[in-house]
Structure 1
């Protein structure tokens, strides 16, 4: 009888513990942040520039890396005059891209960042021949051509330069608006990730961390993270990324990063990283 009582007590305590842990974890549905609705049919240049500002700071996730020193892991383009800077880079003998003006250079730096890597900002060990920046027109960021144009318009405008990007034509605006309407009607919200690999791509983890090497992208490589951190430490590194910051790296990971995940996605990522032993 005593053994049975102890067993029941232990089981109850364990159940309460798991319940507590569940409440401490982020309890969200996992959909992407709600994007601002824009009336493309009556879009002004001022509205287009404001859209680019919003994309830069939100959907584009640009400020994860492009920050002032010493926190930045990429050039502080928000604090630079990008039109003047583009002219300097186009004149650099190291430049091997195809752009001939500031607009084309900024677009090229977003969709094909490896064309020109700013000195000192290349992937570690590549001698500035490889860029750690993801292509913004591909997953996980996946900006549309119109969104890319909007960001370029904002980068040109913010320092008082002429905006050379054209507004979307009424026909293009109507087509984009219709596509957005159809997607909304069909309920095509991003679904929760089904695997750890999908979750890592969905939340852009692979843009900042190499999963299969110790190479430094924005953050440290995670090929052996499971040998260095236990499950509780892995969980803390996601739930409270600033609690312990790896030496030599600034606290670049957003503190609310885990709040965008479902509990299942978080646990899949922890399971995946725990198996990374090097």
Structure 2
């Protein structure tokens, strides 16, 4: 079983273990009886079949015993269901919105995030819905699974007992990029959560978002802990022993150039004691993100990318749109601005349009109005955004510049 993070999850585990024990016991009993009867009533011992008279005691036993077992399973199931569904008074409510293929979390006060952040020991109520199809919110460490349904609000709650980062998955097949619908539950101390909610920890949270976006936290810890790769915090000025491609050892001082090489050419210098398993991020990280990540690793400080990038991440845009020219489930943001698009309007007519600011705004607010030829109209409308937020997204898309041929052959949208 996975780590148990939620006290009410003990009820779920107890129900599961009881049913498992009964299933294993029934399997063993049936197998033993089958083997015994095969031996006992073999034709060499019983050449002629005989009628076995009924037994009131046995009939009562096999009626009462299964009834008791089934009622016991019902009781364990009911107590676990009740524990998971009874939301404590005063729980902080977080709105969860699922869409193909990302999660968005909205906190009291309006703060939005692409990851679910919660305080240790705090009751959190999740009010969940979907913008498109049925998804299923699943956190193994919480034993929590609840469908999100368009036009319907479903609820769940949890109280995380320990800090850490835990997987959030979609457990309902929801389309082409279902496997990409993954995010994180980040449980932090209460004071750190208050700072995050108030927006006063922009440095730390922004760094985590960038390193999570590019998959760095799967191998590297951001707070000095052990992992498959070295920790990434406060590296500026440190001395590292590295192995060069020719087998020689060298001692280097960690500076900005070294960290850029570590991201773009990780096999050029392997930190001693670690396996050469890191992939290259050459042409995969926009320069602005690369600079912000390097600066944070050096000093723990970064100004972060423009607000439009944060908004795009919080709204789940990065699940379908890349920033490096590659095609995921929608066009890359890089090279999109001012490119020519072949689109069909509501009447089905095909025409060429330029992706100017007006087109980009319309594509965000009403993506079904002009559908790019060859694309499936799966993108939901972001009518919950105000004009300033839409302008931030448009400015961010425009800031990524031309595509330079990357992603050639991918469909346009």
TM over 0.5: no
Name the structure, 1 or 2, with higher relative contact order (CA <8 Å, separation 6+). 1
Taking structure 1 as the reference length, the TM-score comes to: 0.39
Taking structure 2 as the reference length, the TM-score comes to: 0.29
More strand by share: 2
